[in-house]
Amino acid sequence: MPTAQPKPKTSAVSAAMRPINNVVERYIPSALVFAVVLSLVVAIAALIFTDAGPVDVLNGWGDGLAGLLAFMTQMALILLLGHALAHTGPVRKLLARLGGIPRTPVQAYVSVFLIAAIASLITWGLGLVVGGLLAKEVAAQAREKGMALHFPMLVASGFSGFVVWHMGYSGSGPLTAATEGSFIAEQLGGTIPISETTFSWWNITAAIVTIILVGAALGFISPRSGDKISELQVDARRTDDVDIDDDVVTPADRVDASRILTALVGLALVAYLVVHYVQGGTATLDIVNWTFLALLFLLVRSPFELIALVKNAASNVGEILLQFPLYAGIMGMMTTTGLINVVSDGIVGIANPTTFGLLALLSAGLVNFFVPSGGGQFAVQAPIMLDAAERLGVDPSIAIMAVSYGDQWTNMIQPFWALPLLAIAGLKMRDILGYTMVTLIVSGVVFAGILLIVGAG
C-alpha cells in the first residue's frame, strides 16, 4: 500500500499576513481616489481650524493646481526614463547573466533583493522594473536547473529593493531641496546640497544597514523544505519585451534605424554633465534626469528602439500626471489658509529635537497611504515638517530625510508602486504582502534608529 505524501504547508509568514492581505485587497482604493478624498479632508480642516471661508479655500485650491507643473514633469521623467532603461537590450542581457548566478534558493531570493536595491538607489524607476524582470529571469533559469523557487517570494524580494529608493541618486526629496527655485528652496531661502542629505554619513550608513538586515531577513523567512511552493509556470522571460517596428523600407527609415543620431545626443549630454560637475555643479532633479537620458540615448540601437521604449514606458506615467495637480491643490489650500501653521503647531507641541525625526517618519509613513507618490507626498508634507523643524531648532536635512524615509518605508504595504512590478510578474498584492511586511518591520527599525541617533546628536 503506497505511503500517503504529506500535503505542502503554507508558510507561517503567509498565514500570519493573510488578514492584512485581505484588508489591502478589499478596502484600499486607488491612489486617485485617495487624492480626491484627501483634498476634501484638507478643505474641511481649513474651514474648521482656520479663519478661511469657503471662497478662500476654493481659491487656494484652484490657484495651487498649477503650482507643481515643473516638479510634476521632473517626477514623470524619472519614472519614464528608468522604465525605458530597464528594457534596453544591454540591461536585459545583464539581467539574464545575473539571473544565472544563484545556486541555492536562499541565494536566489537575496540576490534579487540586492540587485533591485542597487537599481533603486541608482533611480527608482529602474529599480521598480528591474525587480520584476529579474524575478522572472531567476525563476526561469532556476527551473531549467531543476531548482524549485517560490515565485511570489522572488517578486516580493524584488519589490523589497524599493525600500531604499529615497536614499539614492534619484531621491525626489533631497533633490528638490537641492534644486534652485524649487518650492523647498523658496521656503528655506536657499538650497540644501545633497552632501547634507543623500550623501550624509548617516543616510549612507542607514542605507547599507537596511540592505544588509533586510537581505538577511528575507533569507531567513524564505520557504523551507515542505513549505508550499508556487513556481513560475511558463517561460515568460520575454513576454514583456518591447515590440520594435524597425523595418527599413524608405530612406527615412534608414535614418530612424541608425545609431549615429542617438549616440551623438547621448555623448553631448555626457559632455554637458562632465562640464557641469567640473565647474562645481551639484546634482538636482534636472541633472539626474539628464544623466539617465544620456544613458538611454547611448544604450539604444536606434531612434526606432528609443521611440518604442518610451511608448511602452508612458503607460505607467499617466496616473502620476493626473494626481499631481490635486497634490498641488492640497498644498495651495494648506499654504493660503494657514492650515500648514496649525499642523506645524501640533507637531511642535508634542516633539522635541530628539524625537522630531521619529515623529516625522511615522507621520510620513501614514501620509504615504494617501499620497503614494514620493514627489507628491514631499510637496504636501515637507513644508509642514520644515516649518516645525525650524521652530524646534532641528537641522532641515533631518526633516527632509525623515519624510523621505517614511515614504519609502510604507511603500512595502501600499499597493500603488507595486502595481507595475506585479503586472510584469502576473501576481496580485496579496501574493507578496506577507514577505514585504517583514521588509517593512526590519527597515522601520533601522530608519527610526538612525533618526533618533542623529536627533540626539
Query: What pLDDT was estimated at residue 15?
Result: 55
Q: What are 227's strand-pairing partners?
A: 9
The pLDDT tens digits for 276-310 are: 999 988 888 889 899 999 999 999 988 888 988 98
Residues 6+ apart with CB under 8 A from 77: 289, 293
Q: Which of 415, 330, 381, 276 is nearest to 45 (CA)?
A: 330
| DSSP secondary structure code for residue 361 in this structure | H
Average pLDDT over all residues of the chain:
84
Q: Give the three cell numbers for residue 162.
A: 524599493
Question: Which one is predicted more confidently, 381 or 238?
Answer: 381
pLDDT given for residue 427 in this prediction: 79
Q: Report, as an integer, the average pLDDT of 424-447.
A: 87
Please provide the DSSP assignment of 171-234 as one string.
-HHHHHHHSTTSHHHHHHTS---GGGTTTSHHHHHHHHHHHHHHHHHHHHHS--TTB------S
The angle at the Cα of 170, spanning 164 to 173, to the nearest 5 degrees, equals 80
pLDDT attached to residue 249:
60
Find the range with the poorest average confidence among 217-221, 236-240, 377-381.
Answer: 236-240
Residue given cell 511608448 in the structure block:
311
Residue with cell 533603486: 120
Whether the pLDDT of residue 29 is over 60: the answer is yes
Separation of alpha carbons 153 and 320, rounded Å = 28
- In this model, does residue 3 exceed pLDDT 50? no
Percent of residues, the chain, with pLDDT higher than 70: 88
Using alpha carbons only, what angle is made at residue 237 by residues 150 and 248, rounded to the nearest 5 degrees?
170
The dihedral through the CA atoms of 353, 355, 359, 360 has a sign that is positive
Amino acid (1-letter code) at residue 300? V
Sign of CA dihedral 212, 213, 218, 221: positive
Average pLDDT over residues 22-44: 74
| Selected residue with higher pLDDT from 254 and 18 | 254
pLDDT digits (tens, 9 = 90+) for 36-91: 888 898 899 999 999 999 999 999 999 988 877 887 888 788 888 888 888 898 98
Identify the residue with better confidence: 336 or 256: 336
Span 138-161, pLDDT tens digits: 998 888 888 888 888 999 999 999
